[in-house]
Amino acid sequence: MKTESEQQLSASLEDYLEAIFNLAGESEGARSKDIAEALSVARSSVTGALQALREKGLANYRPYGCITLTEPGRTLAAEVVRKHNILKSFFVNVLGVDADVAQQAACKAEHALGPEIIGRLLSFIKYVTESHRNGRDVAEEFRQFHKSRSGAKARKAQP
Amino acid sequence: MKTESEQQLSASLEDYLEAIFNLAGESEGARSKDIAEALSVARSSVTGALQALREKGLANYRPYGCITLTEPGRTLAAEVVRKHNILKSFFVNVLGVDADVAQQAACKAEHALGPEIIGRLLSFIKYVTESHRNGRDVAEEFRQFHKSRSGAKARKAQP
DNA sequence: TGACAGAGTTAGGGGTCCCTAACTATCCTA
DNA sequence: TAGGATAGTTAGGGACCCCTAACTCTGTCA
């Protein structure tokens, strides 16, 4: 038997959860308008999502009231945020991607990757960080490798 | 101005494109039933998707006829397949994830990641491959690192 | 305290994607 | 070549997610 909070969430509801988590962290509870802005959706869409999250026992919400997450909601949201941060860190610190590209990619990929991959990715980031301390910086070495390759490619395409 | 084949495809239609590409490679054109099986959807869902792909100029399709991709369709499908393969290769050969977990994750993530990240990922795989030839195998080193860490964690959790 | 601005909700509608059930076309074999 | 098996389509409907327009609520300020 599953409790209502254990069921699989859609990518969309995960986004709402994440937004509430981030906004509620800054103050006491999130505001509907700010959620709408953060996700670039209409305010009425937020109302619908909040009703869905309440039904799943993930958000405390009554019409015109302030919006907070329940304990299970906070747990789930924290997991989404954790995925997001691990992905972004990997994109930026290992692959050397621009922060804003990494941010957008993390937003999408966080819904697609399971704990197995995320766990390995985190481990990999730590491995790379450690390699830096050991004076054998994998990330830096890769950046050089990537630069020389893409440079060579560009020269080849346009001599 | 955009031609009809340049517009952004949904993840779902990309999946259909990919399935047709893979199935048509094995024989002359794909069969509706095989697409349905490959994607685990009802046959009627395939019909709908084929109509959508035809409208976008990506698939050659008439009722009861054999299914092939147009030139733009094949180009797009090849790009999806390429993303898929790069992701899977990264998961398996760098992160050391099981092939079937990697396969499933690649199926989902291929719709979420853009050319910038995919390009870097490919470059990273090449960097790791090269490190292997140079007698300084990053993938192997990471596997050892991951093993020792997860082993230590397991011992900590259950001494 | 009453009126206004802004926040939030409801109503209604559209798009996507999937399903089942029932129908039609095609193919193969007796 | 007729009939049955299989493949494919259509019809109808549900879930999800988003939108705009119009309404209601709330808080603030003159």
- The pLDDT assigned to A158 comes to 58
At A152, is the pLDDT very low, low, confident or very high (cuts 50, 70, 90)?
low
Q: What pLDDT, in 10s, does the model give residues A34-50?
A: 999 999 999 999 999 99
More confident residue, B2 or B59: B59
Q: Is the pLDDT of residue A113 over 60?
A: yes
- The pLDDT assigned to B150 comes to 82
Length of chain B: 159
Smallest CA–CA distance, residue A27 to chain B, in Å, is 31
Mean pLDDT lowest for which of A24-28, A98-102, B85-89? A24-28
Q: What pLDDT, in 10s, does the model give residues B48-71?
A: 999 999 999 999 999 999 999 999
CB A39 within 8 A of CB A49: no
Mean pLDDT lowest for which of A141-145, B6-10, B59-63, B115-119? B6-10
Residues above pLDDT 90, as percent of chain B: 81
- The pLDDT assigned to A151 comes to 73
- The pLDDT assigned to B2 comes to 41
C-alpha–C-alpha distance, residues B14 and B78, integer Å: 10
Length of chain A: 159
Average pLDDT, chain B: 91
Q: Is the pLDDT of residue A103 over 90?
A: yes
C-alpha–C-alpha distance, residues A154 and A122, integer Å: 33
CB A115 within 8 A of CB B130: no
B10 sits within 7 Å of strand D by its CB: no
Number of alpha carbons in the 13 Å side-chain half-sphere of residue B114: 14
Mean pLDDT lowest for which of A1-10, A65-74, A137-146, B79-88? A1-10
A10 sits within 7 Å of strand D by its CB: yes
Q: Is the pLDDT of residue A62 over 70?
A: yes
Instruction: Show residues of chain B in contact with A154, CB under 8 Å.
Output: none
Task: Tell which residue, B87, B91, B137, has the closest CA to residue B112.
Answer: B87
Q: Inspect the interface and report whether the beta carbons of A108 and B112 lie closer than 8 Å.
A: yes
Residue with tokens 């999502």: A49
Q: Inspect the interface and report whether the beta carbons of B97 and A117 lie closer than 8 Å.
A: yes
- The pLDDT assigned to A61 comes to 94
Number of alpha carbons in the 13 Å side-chain half-sphere of residue A11: 14
Average pLDDT of B29-34? 94
- The pLDDT assigned to A29 comes to 86
Instruction: List bases in chain C with any atom under 7 Å of a protein Cβ.
Output: 6-12, 16-22, 25-26
- The pLDDT assigned to B4 comes to 43
B39 sits within 7 Å of strand C by its CB: yes
Average pLDDT of A1-11? 64
Helix ranges restricted to H, chain A: 11-26, 32-39, 43-55, 71-89, 99-109, 115-133, 138-157
B44 sits within 7 Å of strand D by its CB: yes
Local structure of residue B91 (DSSP, 8 states): I
Tell me the residues of B at the A interface, defined by beta carbons under 8 Å apart. 91, 94-97, 101-102, 104-105, 108-109, 111-114, 116-117, 120-121, 123-124, 126-127, 130, 138, 141-142, 145-146, 149-150
A59 sits within 7 Å of strand C by its CB: no
C-alpha–C-alpha distance, residues B51 and B28, integer Å: 20
- The pLDDT assigned to A8 comes to 86
Instruction: List bases in chain D with any atom under 7 Å of a protein Cβ.
Output: 6-12, 16-22, 25-26
- The pLDDT assigned to B151 comes to 73
At B157, is the pLDDT very low, low, confident or very high (cuts 50, 70, 90)?
low
Question: How remote is the C-alpha of B27 from its chain's centroid?
Answer: 20
C-alpha–C-alpha distance, residues B29 and B116, integer Å: 32
Three-state helix/strand/coil letters over A11-23: HHHHHHHHHHHHH
Residues 99-118/B with CB < 7 A to strand C: none
Q: Write out the DSSP string of B112-139.
A: T--HHHHHHHHHHHHHHHHHHHTT--HH
Q: Inspect the interface and report whether the beta carbons of B97 and A120 lie closer than 8 Å.
A: yes
CB A20 within 8 A of CB A35: yes
